[in-house]
């Protein structure tokens, strides 16, 4: 299963997308403000509540972002290295490690949003926030990314499976990266051409009829949690 909207009847699916976007923005701001272990531990509890409301498995989210782990882990590891004795200073890796974990928490919240929000609702929320042709352009871009990214993920997964079936996993890491990168780019360009043709065939419109957005009583808990995070961030 790729990182895309899947309806499971979760509580977060009933929330207004504008409320969820506001929560993401406030969460990211608070994560930047509270970088201590205690603050990040508190935000971890918030992420756990988000996963529960979105009926989303944290294991699935971590699996979807596994390709980012070398960058999240490499930063602290590189910061701990020195050019002379003692060669490794673990204390220097603490701040980068906290920063990497903060990025991971923000990604988890974003994954829960994508998992529980239809693309059309996201586009409607963006065009409500940014009126005019600029909002239409931004909404269209977000809709394209949300629809196109899972397809590219599936293509890369099929390429890797095909390589493994042909004993490609016994090649060196450099060869595997070259093969997957070249095949992935070729498939991406092919998908882009097909996508463009499909848009023209369906008479793509800049300003289609989007779903009506309305805040309901289901949004009250999310709004209270957003307000609490905002107060905590300011204090």
Q: Provide the percentage of residues in the chain whose pLDDT is more than 90.
A: 22
Same domain? For 55 and 105 the reply is yes
Q: pLDDT (tens digit, 9 = 90+) per residue, 30-77?
A: 998 888 889 899 999 999 999 999 999 999 888 888 878 888 888 888
Domain that holds residue 204: 119-210
pLDDT at 11: 92
Both tokens of 221, joined, read: 């808990």
DSSP 119-165: HHHHHHHHHHHS-HHHHHHHHHHHHHHHHHHHHHHHHHHHHHHHHHH
Same domain? For 145 and 200 the reply is yes
Mean pLDDT, all residues of the chain = 83
Same domain? For 111 and 17 the reply is yes
Same domain? For 59 and 127 the reply is no
Same domain? For 3 and 99 the reply is yes
DSSP annotation of 88 reads B
Residue 177: pLDDT band with limits 50, 70, 90:
confident
Same domain? For 180 and 137 the reply is yes
DSSP annotation of 211 reads P
Higher pLDDT, 129 or 140: 129
Same domain? For 193 and 227 the reply is no
Same domain? For 22 and 134 the reply is no
**What spatial distance separates the first Cα and last Cα of the chain, rounded to whole Å?**
40
Same domain? For 151 and 218 the reply is no
pTM above 0.85, yes or no: no
pLDDT at 1: 54
Same domain? For 59 and 168 the reply is no
Same domain? For 103 and 1 the reply is yes
Mean predicted confidence (pLDDT) in 73-95: 82
Same domain? For 6 and 90 the reply is yes
Domain count, the chain: 2
pLDDT at 203: 64
Q: pLDDT (tens digit, 9 = 90+) per residue, 190-234?
A: 877 777 777 667 666 666 677 888 888 889 989 999 999 988 888
pLDDT at 68: 82
């Amino acid at each position: 299963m790729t990182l895309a909207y899947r309806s499971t009847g979760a509580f977060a699916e009933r929330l207004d997308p504008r409320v969820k976007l506001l929560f993401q923005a406030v969460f990211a701001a608070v994560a930047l403000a509270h970088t201590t272990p205690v603050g990040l531990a508190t935000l971890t509890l918030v992420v756990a509540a988000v996963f529960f409301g979105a009926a989303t498995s944290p294991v699935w989210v971590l699996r979807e972002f596994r390709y980012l782990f070398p960058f999240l882990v490499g930063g602290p590891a590189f910061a701990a290295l020195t050019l002379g004795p003692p060669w490794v200073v673990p204390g220097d890796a603490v701040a980068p490690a906290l920063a990497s974990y903060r990025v991971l928490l923000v990604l988890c919240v974003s994954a829960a949003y994508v998992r529980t929000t239809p693309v059309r609702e996201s586009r409607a929320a963006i065009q409500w926030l940014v009126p005019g042709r600029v909002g239409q352009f931004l909404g269209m871009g977000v809709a394209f990314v949300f629809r196109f990214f899972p397809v590219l993920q599936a293509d890369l997964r099929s390429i890797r499976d095909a390589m493994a079936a042909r004993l490609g996993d016994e090649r060196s890491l450099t060869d595997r990266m070259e093969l997957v990168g070249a095949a992935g780019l070729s498939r991406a360009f092919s998908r882009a051409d097909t996508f463009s043709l499909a848009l023209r065939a369906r008479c793509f419109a800049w300003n289609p009829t989007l779903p009506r957005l309305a805040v309901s009583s289901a949004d009250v808990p999310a709004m209270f949690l957003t307000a609490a995070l905002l107060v905590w961030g300011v204090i």
